[in-house]
Chains A and B, each alone.
Chain A
Amino acid sequence: MSEPAAHSQVETSTPKELVREPLVLNNRPLGWITNQVAGIVEGDMPKWWNIAFGVSFLLMLMSFGYIGYLITTGVGVWGLNHPVAWGWAIVNFVFWIGIGHAGTLISAILFLLRQKWRTSVNRTAEAMTIFAVICAGIFPGIHVGRIWLAWWLFPLPNANAIWPQFRSPLLWDVFAVSTYFTVSLLFWYMGLIPDLATIRDRLRKNAGQCKTGLDKMINKLKQFLYGLFSMGWIGSNRHWRNYEKAYLLLAGLSTPLVLSVHSIVSFDFAVSQLPGWHTTIFPPYFVAGAVFSGFGMVLTLMIPMRTIFNLEEIITVRHLELMCKVIMATGTIVGYAYGMEFFIAWYGGNPYELYAFKNRAFGPYWWSYWIMISCNVISPQLFWFKWCRTSPWFIFVVSIFVNIGMWFERFVIVVTSLHRDYLPASWGYYSPTQVDILTFVGTFGLFMVLFLLFIRYLPSITIFEVKAVTPQADPHSIEGGADRVKGGDH
């Protein structure tokens, strides 16, 4: 690593600073960052984009088709049976909601902790949050049985003049998830405003290069739309001042929000009396698991993206390595929680509790439990080795394991706790049907459709924030022009 000139400014009396690895490699100028990111939106999409979009679109239609079948026929098309009344729908809901948590962690919590590396990944991660919550929202809606009455979830006046029961954690969930979606959308949109203005201005500068009348019309239309949503942003410092304050406040609000959302999701289980669900460790354990799974998905999406769009200098190996460390930390917390659940089941002296846990690991669903353990507890431990943290293809493989493991975690929690209740006469084995499986597979199509449209039409990296963490943006560095000002600066 060559010594950046910025650090020659350090006063001689202070000990020599360790040089941090740069966040944008090769000391690129500010304009290069704009070109690199905005170029993705302006250029034509590669052929794989069309193929990927086509496949995702068909998967999405398949999911919608099965949902239509469910609505017209009834929940009997799912594999639910008497003791297992919460099947894949709830598993999928918790899985997708958890995925979203990495986006908010990166955008809000790492912002408050002043982790500058978040700037390269926060836009994509936040987009992922929003799309994952959309996928999650489908399942509670369709699992209510009579879907046309799903609006009873909300406190709206109805013909029976009755209100929802606010003692129920399921109702808290309605508020938590809808607030989470709305606030994530606001935060994401606010971050987009200056970058939409960048695209607007570039369209204006490129208008002269349009040859045909059609090109000119498309350019005009795009200028209008990007201009409309950029709210007339002119990069004024008087605006930046309020903007930064609002951003800080939104980060401050999103942090308790993200912690509360998965805590409340865990209350859906923990507030019940069921052995295996009735555990005080659930809220922190669910939040750690959510962050763990979310980072898995961020890496699954970002590793191909950075290669295909030549963003390796902005999303560097160091960024991937740091995310691997988060995966390792949260994976270890999750592993601790699994162990602690067993310990308390034994130490608590409740025979039903102990049975539920023994049954989890060695009962009819032993295979799901051990898939969960190998993916969530063992695979992240590989990141202790530097080679594992710095080889993108290897990280990609582990990230897939994390996704699989976290889906199985929710399956284990929901199904193994339910399938053997207090009455052995009603014990049963739950298996999903084709409708269960393909509806869930199809939601990946919906997720990818939204994600591909996002890459196509919006700047997938926060241009202004990446610029702000380069040495060129620091008025006290040589790259920022400090030596060009007479007398220098303090």
Chain B
Amino acid sequence: MSKSFAIMAEYETPAEIMDAAKKVHAAGYEKWDVHSPFPIHGMDDAMGLDNAKVGYFTFFGGLIGFTTGMTMQYFMNKFDYAIVVGGKPLFSGFFAFPVSYELTILLGAFGSLIGMFVLNRLPRHHHPLLANERFADVTDDKFYVVIECDDDHYDEQRTRSLLEGTNAVHIEMVEGTE
């Protein structure tokens, strides 16, 4: 038997887990999380989480896309192999815009998806919760609060009684290591 990873409490409704999350947050825990089959409106506030940082990835992805589009067209049509068409200037931001616009969106989209994965530390296929029998209902209709044993405030007795003070229908220890 390996050492315990976390203590897990199961709930049946979003209101009950929202209440529990507020209590756990108020008790000052840091390494804990709420698991649910769908995003629960208002849960970020209940857990005391700030705004997600995915936007930076999107912005830089888009910026790289636009710059790539403009420089590519400048290089190809003006610098590397210049052909005058209809007496028009070899490069102008106007005709170069549609392609740059599409590349902005393309790399911005990749930035958003990659940002989501990087910030979530995904993919990750060996999480201790994935091995837990009961936790499999998280993608169906059950809600879980999981407090990690590594948390500074964690204490086997006190944490358990905190969770028992909520509407949890089941509490158990999750085995395994990170």
Residue positions of A touching B, CB distance < 8 A: 29-31, 34, 155, 161-167, 169, 171-172, 175-176, 179, 182-183, 186-187, 190, 194, 197-198, 200-202, 204-205, 227-228, 231-246, 249-250, 253-254, 256-257, 260, 264, 267, 464-465, 467-468, 472-477, 480-482, 484-486, 489
Contact = CB atoms under 8 A, between A and B. Distances in A.
Best-surrounded residue of B99, B102, B113, B124 (most CB of chain A within 10 A): B102
A201 B112 contact: no
A484 B13 contact: yes
Most chain A CB neighbours (cut-off 10 Å) among B43, B81, B124, B136: B136
Given A243-B39, A484-B167, A163 B77 contact: yes
A104 to B, nearest CB: 12
Contact of B138 (A201, A238, A267): A201
Given A237-B40, A243-B120, A183 B105 contact: yes
Nearest to A205: B136
Given A176-B98, A235-B35, A476 B116 contact: no
Nearest to B51: A245
Contact of A234 (B40, B109, B116, B130): B130
Given A164-B76, A237-B36, A243-B39, A484 B15 contact: yes
B15 A480 contact: yes
Contacts, number: 232
A249 B52 CA distance: 11
Given A179-B106, A237-B33, A249 B141 contact: no
Given A166-B95, A481-B12, A243 B116 contact: yes
A228 B106 contact: no
Contacts of B147: none
B76 A155 contact: yes
A161 B15 CA distance: 65
Contacts of A482: 15
B32 to A, nearest CB: 10
Interface in B86-127: 88, 95-96, 98-99, 101-103, 105-106, 108-110, 112-113, 115-117, 119-120, 122-127
Contact of B77 (A165, A228, A486): A165
B129 interface: yes
